[in-house]
Amino acid sequence: MKTFLLAGIECSRVAQGCMRIGGMAPADLDRLIKTDLECGINFFDHADIYGGGSCETVFGDFLRANPGLRDKMVLQSKCGIRGGTYDFSKDHIIREAEQSLTRMGIDTLDFLLLHRPDTLVEPEEVAEAFDKLSREGKVKNFGVSNHNPYQIELLESALGGRKIVANQLQFSMTNTTMIDAGIHVNMEDGSAVNRDGGVLDYCRLKGITIQPWSPFQYGFFAGPFIGNPDYAKLNAKLDEVSARYDVTPTGMAIAWILRHPAKMQPIIGTTNPDRIAQIAKAADVTITHDEWYELYKSSGKTLP
């Protein structure tokens, strides 16, 4: 597994998402996390709300049973969604970050992201929360999730030089709005609609790492597109291209994301160690320029 530097920390190009681990038996979770580490995946993405906190708690149970492994991991959590609304107040950010630390039994989060934009945000309050968490050694770096460029600019205007280093966004072979709009600029068709303020190019310009979430889902957690008859053309092309590289279609769906020069870090949500091994193998594959476009078009996307 290739690595890259995110805020000076060596991180795997693929991250393990922990949203679905809450109900796992300890032995299965043990196998999952150890498979990640054996495959070179050292980055784990959490949120205070996943499983109502249970995902961080069971991950903490694993760390308590394997105390030597914390130092081999990069740990990220998110906060800012509260009871069906959004809350970027200073008190909420600090309280949730501290609770994430307690649940996981760790001293420091490597990254803390603000989960979904709070339109009532006061950037100065966010800055105070970040300063306190950083000063006390509780969080090393900060980022956002589902934010557009101006929302990031607004936050950074109060952060006194502190940088937003990551932006987690929905992106997969079937959810490509942030690419479609750039390809269809100035056209009259629906794909030209710019829904995110050009977030892909903005993040590239600013050196912000995009972390695609739900890289195997179509719709909004509607289910995986791999093997789905509604995506027959995409699956046929995935079969064809993955065979060329001796990887599986599951792995190829991640190789496709990694091929984009934005150097994205996909957050995979599988809890299946076999799939993790498939993804890790394909993460070292570099498909060609033309194969990337063939796969893009096979998911039903058009070029003007």
Ligand X SMILES: NC(=O)c1ccc[n+]([C@@H]2O[C@H](COP(=O)([O-])OP(=O)(O)OC[C@H]3O[C@@H](n4cnc5c(N)ncnc54)[C@H](OP(=O)(O)O)[C@@H]3O)[C@@H](O)[C@H]2O)c1
Q: Which residues bind ligand X (CB under 6 A)?
A: 17-20, 45, 115, 145-146, 168, 213-217, 221, 224, 226, 250, 267-272, 275
Residue 121 CB, nearest approach to ligand X (Å): 16
Strands 164-170 and 209-213: parallel
Tell me the one-letter amino acid at 5.
L
**Strand (E) or helix (H) holding 74:** strand 74-79
Tell me the one-letter amino acid at 63.
L
- Give the CB-nearest residue to ligand X: 269
Query: Which of 50, 202, 231, 296 is the catalytic position?
Result: 50
155-185 burial, b at 16+ Cβ within 10 Å, e below that, comes to: bbebbeeeebbbbbbbbbbbbbbbbbbebbe
The answer to whether 50 is a known catalytic residue is yes
Question: Which tokens in the block code for residue 266?
Answer: 């996909």
Nearest residue to 45 (alpha-carbon basis) of 88, 74, 71, 86: 74
Evaluated on CA atoms 254, 255, 260, 263, the torsion sign reads positive
Residue 300 CB, nearest approach to ligand X (Å): 18
CB 21 within 8 A of CB 272: no
Identify which of residues 95 and 275 has a Cβ nearer to ligand X in the complex.
275
- The rounded distance, in Å, linking the Cα atoms of 189 and 212 is 25
DSSP string, 252-301: HHHHHHHHSTT----EE----HHHHHHHHHHTT----HHHHHHHHHHTT-
Degrees (nearest 5) of the Cα angle 55, 56, 57?
A: 90
47 φ, ψ to 5°? -150, 150
Classify 80 as helix, strand or coil: coil
Q: What DSSP designation does 202 have?
A: H
Identify which of residues 11 and 184 has a Cβ nearer to ligand X in the complex.
11
Identify which of residues 106 and 144 has a Cβ nearer to ligand X in the complex.
144
Residue 86 CB, nearest approach to ligand X (Å): 12
Identify which of residues 20 and 64 has a Cβ nearer to ligand X in the complex.
20
Residue 28 CB, nearest approach to ligand X (Å): 10
Identify which of residues 113 and 287 has a Cβ nearer to ligand X in the complex.
113
Residue 82 CB, nearest approach to ligand X (Å): 14
Identify which of residues 111 and 213 has a Cβ nearer to ligand X in the complex.
213
Catalytic residue ranges? 50
